[in-house]
Amino acid sequence: MSHPTTPTTLQVVCLCADWCGTCREYGQAYAELQQSHPQASFHWVDVEDEADLLGDLDVENFPTLLIGVAGQPVFFGVLLPHIQTLERLVQQAPDLRPLPESRDTPTLRALLATLAERQP
């Protein structure tokens, strides 16, 4: 059962790097997915240009995705660069449970909060 969302309740964050060819190719499909989901806020974060946002979070592979619902991370991990996989996650996100507490969870929540403040 899906729940209605607003731009601040469903966040999709792609952590990539400008030098990464896979990220550059994925970026176009990501932008198209963003257009088809106006209820969500999408963020593209370059892990080198915006390293200060990541704190001690390690991003080792690309694309790494963070999905948050109401400020709580519900998915964090590397996806194969197939936009259909992310699209299914976006559709299922409102029904996912928050990630269990880990050493990264406070950093992930802080990243979601900072990006929510950037929304126009």
Q: pLDDT-based confidence at 55, cuts 50/70/90?
A: confident
Count Cβ atoms within 10 A of the Cβ of residue 27 and give its class: 0-12 exposed, 13-18 middle, 19 or more buried: middle
Taking CA atoms, 91 is separated from 16, 18, 58, 88, in Å, by 22, 27, 26, 5
What CATH superfamily is the domain 10-117?
A: Glutaredoxin (3.40.30.10)
* Residue spans per domain, the chain: 10-117
In this structure, the dihedral spanned by the alpha carbons of residues 59, 60, 63 and 65, taken in order and rounded to 10 degrees, is: -30
Q: pLDDT-based confidence at 120, cuts 50/70/90?
A: low
Helix, strand, coil shares of the chain, percent, nearest 5, are 40, 20, 40
Mean predicted confidence (pLDDT) in 49-57: 91
Mean predicted confidence (pLDDT) in 72-98: 94
Q: pLDDT-based confidence at 7, cuts 50/70/90?
A: very low
* Residue 48, CB-side half-sphere exposure with 13 Å CA sphere: 5
